Structure 1
Amino acid sequence: MTDPKTVLRYPAVAAEGLDDWRFFLMKLHARFRTGSFTKGLELVTRITEAAEEADHHPDVVLTYPQVDVDLQSHDVHGVTSRDVALARRISEIAAELGVESAPRDVSTLELALDVPDADEVLPFWQAVLGYERPQSWPEVMDPGGRNNTLWFQEAPEASGEVQQRFHLDIVVPREVAEERVQAALDAGGTLVTEEFVPAFWVLADRHGNKVCVCTADGRETASAE
């Protein structure tokens, strides 16, 4: 039996066959199309009961007409067997209620700031945003889990008095990535590089502002964006 505190990486999570879920940024993500607020509340109530029984609690957002669920073992800041087990149970509950999943719809938006030295500026952004810093990555995160994460990319050339060097990372399911890239190109964007595909594509708008379309696939072998 897998240690419940062992963090599972992408290949192991993908092998679990969680059809309703997608894995990226060290979380499992799912969206369930409830069709009504009442059905959504029923699903959330059942998820709450399952979470209490498992003594393991997801992040749940109820809106009309859907429910979004994120699963992560917060004590280790990653996905473990506890999350996999609860994901399976939540999928069973959704099926019992006749609620369809929409795994292609999930995504996470992060902000990235290019800096020559993250340690020099990270404390400022942590303080001004009121965020927390995890131990494993140069980033700061909203402790309430609602606002976007800000992470710091090493860029030695980003020094001196230059314009602010932000870019966006949009993380999507692997099967959606090419469609998203093509849609951006059709809308006037350009492909900067596909060197790190399938981990991420780098695109730019007509003014040269860059964005990365990211997936979980290949992220552990790709260099920093």
Structure 2
Amino acid sequence: MGLDDWRSIYLTLRTRFRTGDFATGLRLVNAIGEAAEAANHHPDVDLRYGHVDVTLTSHDVHAKTQRDVDLARRISGIAAGLGVAADPGVVQELELAIDTWDIAEIRPFWAAVLALADSPRLDDELVDPSGNLPTIWFQHTDRHEEPRQRFHLDIRVPPEVAGPRIAAALAAGGVLADESQAPAFTVLADSQGNKACVCTHLGRPD
């Protein structure tokens, strides 16, 4: 298929181009932009010093399509013309799974506390329309006592967002577990005991 530069990750085609410096990366991004405009199909492009990450998906159908394949090939040709090699083996995507015996009970809390939206594909998923946060999905489990979480979620937001975000999470069935360290962080939990912290930079060294 001529897609050696790319890897299939869930609903996307992804790769990383090792540009080596910022100026080369910028030239690659500009060329990708021209190709995307010509194709009327637009990837997500992340320019960093030393590399450019590219993600292709067809947002209108929430899947990979021939449009993505065609543009991937075009982008690979552009990169080759600039002497830029692909490093597709490094691409990855993080998703978070929450065990639950009742998805409907806790789903509104997680949508509210992380400002996520319903997945257009699956009833057991929440997604970030901006693409900044990982997808959260819910896995069915038997009812059990409050879990001893080995990890929890920290969501860092601007200070002016923290209050409304906390209020939305509480209104969505959440519980205020600990606000002793607010506004640095406020500990919330869904009704089954799974915790998340709403964090700001206030009162923190970073």
Q: Which residue of 2 aligns with 1:48?
A: 33
For residues 54 and 113 of structure 1, do their structure 2 counterparts lie closer, same or farther at Cα, with a shift above 3 Å needed? Answer: same
Cα offset for 1:102? 0.1
SS in 2 for 1:108: coil
Q: Which residue of 1 aligns with 2:83?
A: 98
- Aligned pairs for 1:104-115 (under 5 A) are 104-115=89-100
Q: Is the 8 A contact 2:62 2:120 kept in 1?
A: no
Q: Is the 8 A contact 1:111 1:166 kept in 2?
A: no
> What percent of counterpart residues are identical?
55
Q: Alignment partner for residue 136 of structure 1, among 95, 98, 121?
A: 121
Larger Rg: 2
Q: Which residue of 2 aligns with 1:205?
A: none
Letter of the structure 2 residue corresponding to residue 68 of structure 1: D
- Aligned pairs for 1:60-209 (under 5 A) are 60-137=45-122, 138-157=124-143, 159-164=144-149
Q: How does the TM-score come out when normalised to structure 2?
A: 0.69
Q: Which residue of 2 aligns with 1:11?
A: none
Q: Which residue of 1 aligns with 2:200?
A: none
Letter of the structure 1 residue corresponding to residue 116 of structure 2: Y
1:94-135 CA deviation, whole Å, 9 max, x = no partner?
001000000111111111111112222112111111111113
Q: Is the 8 A contact 1:113 1:166 kept in 2?
A: no
1:136-191 CA deviation, whole Å, 9 max, x = no partner?
2211111111222211112224x332223769xxxxxxxxxxxxxxxxxxxxxxxx
Letter of the structure 2 residue corresponding to residue 75 of structure 1: D
Q: State the alpha-carbon separation in 2 of the partners of residues 77 and 119 from structure 1.
A: 23
Cα offset for 1:17? 4.0
Q: How does the TM-score come out when normalised to structure 1?
A: 0.64
Letter of the structure 2 residue corresponding to residue 84 of structure 1: V
Q: Which residue of 1 aligns with 2:8?
A: 23
Q: Which runs of 5+ in 2 are unaligned?
A: 153-206
Q: Is the 8 A contact 1:114 1:155 kept in 2?
A: yes
Q: Is the 8 A contact 1:114 1:166 kept in 2?
A: no
Aligned length: 152
Q: State the alpha-carbon separation in 1 of the partners of residues 10 and 66 from structure 2.
A: 16
Q: State the alpha-carbon separation in 2 of the partners of residues 156 and 164 from structure 1.
A: 16
Letter of the structure 2 residue corresponding to residue 126 of structure 1: A
Letter of the structure 2 residue corresponding to residue 65 of structure 1: G
Letter of the structure 2 residue corresponding to residue 155 of structure 1: T
1:193-217 CA deviation, whole Å, 9 max, x = no partner?
xxxxxxxxxxxxxxxxxxxxxxxxx
SS in 1 for 2:14: strand
Which contiguous aligned blocks of 4+ residues in structure 1 show a shift greater than 4 angstroms?
none
Q: Is the 8 A contact 1:141 1:149 kept in 2?
A: yes
SS in 1 for 2:73: helix
